[in-house]
Structure 1
Amino acid sequence: MSALPDLRPDPRPPVRKRVTVPLPPRDAFDLFTRGIARWWPDSHTRQRRARRPSRPDLTPYEPREGGRIVETTPPEGRRVTWATITRWGGGPAAGGGLAPRWRGRDRPS
C-alpha cells in the first residue's frame, strides 16, 4: 500500500496572473478553459516530464462542476486526471469561474 500524499495546505502564496483580452467574459472563460492545451506549458505535462516528443491532449475532459481536467498521453492514450473541477462557469466577471482541486500526486483516471 502506498503512502498518502501530504495534504497540508501549501504555505506559499497563490500564483495570480492577470491578462486582458478583447472578449466578453463568457468567451474569454471558454477560451481559457476549453483552449487550455493552447496555452498550458509543455514543461508542466506528464508527457514532457517523461521526455516524450509528442504533445499530450490536455482538456477539461468533463467541463462542468465535478468534472475532471485530464491529460491523455500519446501514443498509448493513457488518461491521467490532474484535477477535479469544484466550480465552473462564465468566469469571475460573470459571477462564475474555474476552481480546480489539484491532485497531490499523478494518478491514472
Structure 2
Amino acid sequence: MNHVPPLRREVLVQAAPAVAFDVFTSRIGRWWPLAEHGVYHERAATVVFDGGVLVERSTTGEESVWGTVTHWEPPATVAFTWHPGRPADAAGLVEVSFGAVDGGTLVTLRHSGWEAYADPAAARADYDHGWPTVLGRYSDEVARAGDAATWALLLHRPAPDAGIAGPIVDDPRFREHVAFLGRMRAAGHLVAAGPLGDADGEGVTVLRLPGSGRDAEIVRLASEDDRSVRDGLFTVAVRPWRVTLTGPNDG
C-alpha cells in the first residue's frame, strides 16, 4: 500500500489564540456545516465536544460519536481521532494548532491516518475539498465571536475567618491567587488586576471571555479555579460588567 501523506490546511483568523481555540472547541456546534458534513444531514442536529469525545446529536435523540480527544492543551492544541459515520477502529487523526501571529492566530489543521480507509487516496481527495468549506465557516464564527464578549469584575476581600497573620501577600495561599491570574492571562481572559483601595487584601480582577452569555463560566473560574478562594483566603463577588466605549466627541 502506498503511503498517503497527511492533509494540511491553514486559516488565519483575526483573534487571539484563546478566542480561536474556544470557538473551535466550545462553539463548534454553531459553525460546523452539518447539512453538508454531518451524519444525520437533513435532520436537525448539533455537534459538541463532551466528556472527551466529539459527538453529533439529533433532536430525536440519536447520537453518533465522531472521535475521541487525544490531546487538549488550550489555547495551543487540540487533537482527536476522526471517524464520523464509521466505526472507531477505522479512525484517522485530526490535530489543530493555534499559533499567535501578527494580526491574529494561524490555525493549522493536520488530518492523517488515511490507511484506515478502503481507498486512502480517494478519502484524502474528498477531505481536500471538504475541509476548506468547514474552515471557512469556522473563520466566519471567529469573526462574530470577536465582536461579542462576556465581561466581569471579580471583587476579592480577605475572608473573615481566613486566619491571616501579617500581610496577606505573605500568606502561602496568596500564591494560588497569583497562579490563577497567570492562568487567566495565558488563556487571554485577563484584562486587569490589582489592589482596590487601601485595605490590605482587597482587590479587583477584570475578566473578558469571548462570546456572550458566559457569566456562569466566569463564576466557576472565580470560585473554583482560584484555589485561594477555595482554600478560604479570599471571598469573591462576581459582577457582570457592560463595557461601553465612547470617543472624545461622542457627547
Calculate the TM-score normalised by the size of structure 1: 0.64
SS in structure 1 at match of 2:40 = helix
RMSD, aligned CA: 2.5
Structure 2 counterpart of 1:45: 38
| CA distance in 1 between partners of 2:44 and 2:72 (Å) | 26
Match of 1:78 among 36, 53, 62: 62
Query: How much does 1:106 deviate?
Result: 4.4
Structure with a larger share of its residues in strand: 2
Residue deviations 1:43-91 (CA, integer Å, cap 9, x gap): 221111xxxx3331101122xxxx00000022x2112111000001224
**Corresponding position: 1:14 with 2:6:** yes
Structure 2: give runs of 5+ residues left out of the alignment: 89-251
Q: How many residues align?
A: 86
Q: For 2:80, which of 85, 100, 108 is the aligned residue?
A: 100
Amino acid at match of 2:32: W
Structure 1 consecutive aligned stretches of length 4 or more whose deviation exceeds 6 Å:
none
Give the whole-Å Cα distance in 2 for the aligned partners of 1:46 and 1:31: 21
Kindly name which structure, 1 or 2, has the bigger radius of gyration based on alpha carbons: 2
Structure with greater helix percent: 2
Query: Does the 8 Å contact 1:69/1:81 carry over to 2?
Result: yes
CA distance in 2, matches of 1:19, 1:103: 23
Q: 2:28 aligns with which of 16, 36, 41?
A: 36
For residues 18 and 57 of structure 2, what CA distance do their matches in structure 1 show?
Answer: 26
Identity over aligned pairs, percent: 33
TM-score by length of 2: 0.31
Secondary structure (helix, strand or coil) at the match of 1:58 reads strand
